[in-house]
Amino acid sequence: MKVLKFGGTSVSSVETVKNISAILKRTTEKQIVVCSALSKVTNMLTEAGDKAAAGDISYREISAQIEKRHYDFIDALIEPSQQNDLKGKIHNYITRLDKVLESIYFLNELSERAYYIIVSFGERMSNDIIYRYLQIHNGNVDFLDSSQIIITRPVGGKEHVNRTVTYENIRKNWNPNADITVAPGFISKSEKGYATTLGRGGSDYTAALYAAALDASMLEIWTDVSGIYTSDPRKVAKAYPLDKVSYREALELSNFGAKVIYAPTVQPVMEKKIPMKILNTFQPDDEGTLVSTETSHDIPIKAISTMENIAMITFSGTGLVGTTGIAGRLFSMLSRNNINITIICQASSEMSICLAIDSKDADKAVKAINEEFDFEIRKDTVNKTVAENDYAIVAMVGEGMKNYAGLTGKAFTALGNANINIHAIVQDSTEVNVSIIVKKVDATNALNVLHDVFFNN
């Protein structure tokens, strides 16, 4: 059996839904189909929640637009005589959505639980429509409600998938007699029973969980580009698709901003060595990219990605020199506060530790660090920490980098010639990822300069 995931743009037009139906007919293997919400709908749901919390009644217009968008989509796809009260189902979802939005409006507060419920409606609606369409055009089709099967539990204040329970649920509930099973992406349930989700972009992860639980022969991620490119094609005009990358390379790229795969997706398929293909729903015959244990070593750097909205935090002071335990305290305290660190660097002088984190966590991190080291700050052995916003990370990724000397030198020279200032440079010890920190305004330029140097000469 194989698992196919179709992203938002792949389920938003009549043309691509027809493509989906045709793609599913290409094989006699059993298939699980995981779909996202119609494109932009998750953003609209979030916006409606934010407006309601801010006391802005126009959240109602957004929910009306969402309802109309789904009605129009149903009409474009399915004959009225075959709709089977699908619009009634959508109307029920919207009625529930409106009730949640109304309570947010009166409370003036968007809690985490309310957010989860709101955003879950996107995948509930799109998957019901696709399910109906496939029942009509692809025959023996079943439905698995991911919102009851994918189970999360809080780890460090955030909901994470409980894979053991989830895998058991999938194995228990999947009907191997159905040729096709539709299972919504993104949505899940907490151990306590309330609605949760797998994070923005999470439908890729849902698909990987189904694939790993059922030992699928393949996971196919169908999107709006023909594979993993040498760089984001929206930012680098000369980027081109790669034929293969290793799991490790896919992991590094997705962790460092390549949105084409949601980072948590890689782990479950890597553990089971399930090959994953990135394919284009708009050009179904394109080769796409194969992600597996293999990689091609013909080019040292496989791809370059960027992560924007990075804040740099410099933790410094004479108290750091030769003292053990200070770094440990810093990292445990950040972890207790749920602050994810993307990059850590320390110069050999040990006078400072520099951290790259998501800008949205910057104020919280600074406050927590200054509180934790209040005594040392007053003694003047640790300097008061401040955050500098508006940085970006440019990550060069490739398993072949370790065999080549002088790559970082080449990158430095090219960026220097383009007048781009490098704030820090970090290489992981396995040499699969070299990350350069630059100002956010320079990020796209840096990406193109490096792409020209390593791919277009």
Instruction: Report the interface residues with Mg ion, using CB under 5 A.
Output: 7, 201
**Dist CA 436 CA 420 (whole Å):** 11
Quick one: 51 or 248, whose CB is closer to ligand ADP?
Answer: 248
Task: Output 228 or 310, the one with its CB closest to ligand ADP.
Answer: 228
Residue 126's contacts (CB-CB under 8 Å, 6 or more residues apart) are: 11, 35, 36, 37, 38, 41, 70, 184
Give the binding range for ligand ADP (CB under 6 A) out of 51-59, 230-238, 265-273, 429-437: 230-238
Choose from ligand ADP, Mg ion, ligand ASP, none: what does 42 bind? Cβ within 5-8 Å by kind. Answer: ligand ASP
- Using rule CB under 6 A, residue 234 touches ligand ADP: yes
- Beta-bridge partner residues of 223: 280
Of the listed pieces 16-24, 62-70, 224-232, 406-414, which binds ligand ADP according to CB under 6 A? 224-232
Q: Which residues 264-323 are close enough to bind ligand ADP by CB under 6 A? A: 303, 305
Q: Closer to ligand ASP at the Cβ: 201 or 317?
A: 201
Q: Closer to ligand ASP by CB, 8 or 317: give it.
A: 8
Query: Shortest Cβ distance from residue 10 to Mg ion (Å)?
Result: 10
Position closest to ligand ADP via CB: 7
- Measure the CA angle with vertex 211, ends 192 and 231; round to 5°: 105
Report if residue 110 touches ligand ADP, rule: CB under 6 A. Answer: no
Out of ligand ADP, Mg ion, ligand ASP, none, which partner does residue 37 contact, by CB within 5 to 8 A per kind?
ligand ASP
Token digits for 122?
């996107």
35 vs 420, beta carbon nearer ligand ASP = 35
Residue that has been written with the tokens 């009907």 in this structure: 175
Selection from ligand ASP, ligand ADP, Mg ion, none that 120 binds (CB < 5 to 8 A by kind) is none
Cβ 181 to Mg ion shortest distance, Å: 21
Element (H, E) at 151: strand 151-155
Q: 301 phi and psi, to 5 degrees?
A: -100, 125
Q: How many residues bind ligand ADP (CB under 6 A)?
A: 20
The DSSP code for 91 is: H
Q: Which residue, 10 or 138, has its beta carbon nearer to Mg ion?
A: 10
* Residue 249 touches which of ligand ASP, ligand ADP, Mg ion, none (Cβ within 5-8 Å per kind): none
Closest to ligand ADP by CB, 39 vs 314, is 39
Nearest approach in angstroms of CB 399 to Mg ion is 24
Amino acid found at 157: G
Region near ligand ADP per CB under 6 A, out of 50-58, 219-227, 396-404, 419-427: 219-227
Q: In the complex, what is the shortest distance from the CB of residue 36 to ligand ADP, in angstroms, rounded to a whole number?
A: 6
Q: In the complex with ligand ASP, which residue's Cβ is closer, 68 or 200?
A: 200
Given candidates 59, 73, 131, 229, which one binds ligand ADP under the rule CB under 6 A? Answer: 229
Q: Are strands 289-292 and 276-280 parallel, antiparallel or unpaired?
A: antiparallel
Helices (H), 244-354: 247-255, 266-271, 326-336
Contacts with ligand ADP, 20-39, as mask; x by CB under 6 A: ----------------x---
Of the residues 12, 16, 42, 223, which one makes contact with ligand ADP according to CB under 6 A: 223
Q: DSSP label at 323?
A: -
Residue corresponding to tokens 């006699």 = 28
Q: Is 208 in the site for ligand ADP (CB under 6 A)?
A: no
Please answer whether residues 243 and 231 qualify as being in contact, where contact means their C-beta atoms are separated by less than 8 angstroms: no
Q: Which of 161, 180, 245, 258 touches ligand ADP by CB under 6 A?
A: 258
Which residues, at least 6 apart from 450, have a Cβ–Cβ distance to it below 8 Å? 304, 394, 396, 411, 414, 415
Q: 9 contacts which partner out of ligand ASP, Mg ion, ligand ADP, none, CB within 5 to 8 A by kind?
A: ligand ADP
* Interface residue list for ligand ASP (CB under 6 A): 7-8, 36-37, 42, 122, 185-186, 200-204
Candidates 218-226, 330-338, 359-367, 429-437; binding stretch for ligand ADP (CB under 6 A): 218-226
Name the packing angle between helices 59-77 and 86-107 (round to 10°). 170
What is the Rg, in whole angstroms, of the alpha carbon atoms belonging to the chain? 24
Token pair for residue 121?
A: 């409606």
Q: Which two tokens stand for residue 98?
A: 């409106």
- Torsion-angle region of residue 386: left (phi > 0), alpha (psi -120 to 50) or beta? beta
List the 433-439 sheet strands across, edge first. Answer: 341-346, 352-358, 303-316, 387-397, 433-439, 424-427
Distances in whole angstroms, Cα of residue 308 to Cα of each of 42, 229, 356, 415, 441: 21, 18, 11, 18, 9
What is the rounded CA–CA span in Å between residue 454 and residue 400? 13
Q: Which is nearer to ligand ASP, 49 or 398 (CB)?
A: 49
Q: Looking at beta carbons only, is 227 or 398 nearer to ligand ASP?
A: 227
Binding interface with ligand ADP (CB under 6 A): 7-10, 36, 201, 223-225, 228-229, 231-234, 258-260, 303, 305
